[in-house]
């Protein structure tokens, strides 16, 4: 029986590296992995998945309006897909997570989704919340906070180096925008930012 899996973690926890390594292993056995990434994430180019260590792979893209079940079904009819791997899964809509569960349940293709669990405010992304509700299996890739503790939260940094306390949930950015930290550090720095009367809100 095929399964839907959610692998989550902060930035720099190795999620994308894991995805690319698994995809490489499938290809080395003449298997066909179907890679998907968010259309809005163009940091490495359109339809490119890139790890911070420099490994890349081409991928199909998705936006919030697409029916991923139909997209994958059509591709599967043309060239049999052995596994679906989704990068930046926090950008999925709730409906798209249901569609990916249909890929597993109706097409019999394993689906592995890699993404963030929570945003800079400590709130679940829509896609991540749906994955946590529907996934057969979940696992966490852990990063390291500058404090030496496990990094399981993310701060969105302003240009002045102070954490942002408000703003749009979905905002593509790298290390210039986000910082992975432990929960303790996240709480301390968010509380400090909230008590700063000059803190800009975007």
Residues annotated as catalytic are 88
- What tokens appear for 57 in the block? 């792979």
Backbone angles phi, psi at 60, to 5 degrees: -75, 160
> By CB neighbour count within 10 A (0-12 exposed, 13-18 middle, 19+ buried), where does 29 fall?
exposed
Q: How many residues does the chain have?
A: 202
Checking 169-172 for CB contacts under 8 A at 24+ apart, the result is 169/119, 169/121, 169/123, 169/125, 170/40, 170/90, 170/91, 170/125, 172/40, 172/41, 172/42, 172/43
Q: Which of 10, 13, 59 is nearest to 39 (CA)?
A: 59
Q: What is the C-alpha separation between 164 and 146, in angstroms, rounded? A: 19
**Which residues is 36 bridged to in the sheet?**
60, 86
């Amino acid at each position: 029986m095929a399964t839907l899996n959610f692998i989550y973690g902060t930035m720099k926890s190795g999620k994308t590296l894991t995805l690319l390594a698994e995809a490489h292993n499938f290809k080395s056995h003449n298997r066909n992995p179907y890679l998907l990434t968010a259309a809005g994430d163009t940091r490495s180019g359109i339809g490119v998945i890139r790890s911070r260590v420099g490994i890349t792979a081409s991928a199909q893209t998705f936006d919030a309006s697409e029916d991923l079940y139909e997209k994958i079904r059509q591709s599967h009819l043309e060239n049999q897909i052995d596994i679906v791997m989704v990068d930046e899964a926090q950008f999925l809509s709730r409906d798209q997570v249901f569609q990916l569960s249909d890929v597993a349940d109706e097409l019999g293709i394993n689906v592995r989704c890699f993404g963030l669990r929570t945003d800079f405010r400590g709130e679940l992304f829509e896609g991540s919340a749906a994955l946590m509700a529907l996934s057969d299996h979940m696992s966490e890739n852990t990063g390291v906070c500058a404090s030496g503790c496990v990094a399981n939260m993310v701060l969105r940094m302003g240009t002045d180096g102070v954490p942002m306390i408000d703003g749009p949930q979905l905002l593509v950015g790298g290390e210039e925008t986000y910082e992975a930290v432990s929960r303790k550090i996240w709480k301390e720095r968010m509380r400090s930012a909230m008590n700063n009367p000059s803190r800009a809100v975007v």
